[in-house]
């Protein structure tokens, strides 16, 4: 069955590109693989400015608010602006993924959009 209706915060369109099995806990990594599989199966995502489908498996998620909320919200804002999208937009994962690749990665904006992220070393190396 095709899956749809996945909430995603904008910067997770980037995390999903570069994920290589590293994360905040074993449980988080397993959860992330599950979300990625759902996206690849034809998921449709809605951009949210709060905790999303990926945050749902994260130990930093405190009752729906990220422990590093200020930092990740700033990354979300830079990512969504660079992709030319708005919070609440709904689109196929394939399209969001293509926009993240084109407007951020290929445009050389990854380092700026994701500044302050502890995982940037993984993404920059690819």
Other Cβ atoms less than 10 A from the Cβ of 11: the count is 24
Residue 61 in the binding site for ligand SF4 (CB under 6 A): yes
Q: Cβ 1 to ligand SF4, closest distance in Å?
A: 26
Residue 14 in the binding site for ligand SF4 (CB under 6 A): no
> What is the number of residues in the chain?
126
Residue 58 in the binding site for ligand SF4 (CB under 6 A): yes
32: number of CA atoms within 13 Å, CB side? 20
User: 6 or 55: whose CB is closer to ligand SF4?
Assistant: 55
Find residue 61's DSSP bridge partners: 66
- Which window, 61-69, 77-85, 100-108, 111-119, contacts ligand SF4 (CB under 6 A)? 61-69
- 6 membership: H or E segment, kind and range: strand 6-8
- Which window, 48-56, 78-86, 96-104, 112-120, contacts ligand SF4 (CB under 6 A)? 48-56
Residues 6+ apart with CB under 8 A from 15: 54, 119
Residue 55 in the binding site for ligand SF4 (CB under 6 A): yes
Q: How many Å apart are CA 96 and CA 71, to the nearest integer? A: 22
Contacting residues toward ligand SF4, per CB under 6 A: 51, 54-55, 58, 60-61, 66, 68, 72
């Amino acid at each position: 069955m095709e899956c749809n209706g996945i909430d995603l915060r904008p910067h997770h369109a980037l995390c999903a590109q570069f994920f290589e099995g590293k994360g905040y806990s074993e449980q988080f990594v397993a959860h992330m693989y599950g979300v990625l599989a759902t996206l690849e199966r034809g998921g449709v995502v809605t951009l949210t400015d709060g905790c999303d489908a990926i945050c749902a498996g994260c130990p930093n998620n405190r009752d729906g608010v990220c422990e590093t909320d200020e930092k990740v919200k700033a990354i979300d804002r830079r990512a969504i602006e660079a992709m030319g999208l708005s919070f609440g937009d709904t689109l196929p994962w394939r399209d969001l993924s293509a926009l993240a690749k084109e407007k951020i990665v290929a445009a050389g904006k990854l380092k700026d959009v994701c500044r302050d992220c502890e995982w940037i070393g993984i993404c920059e190396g690819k």
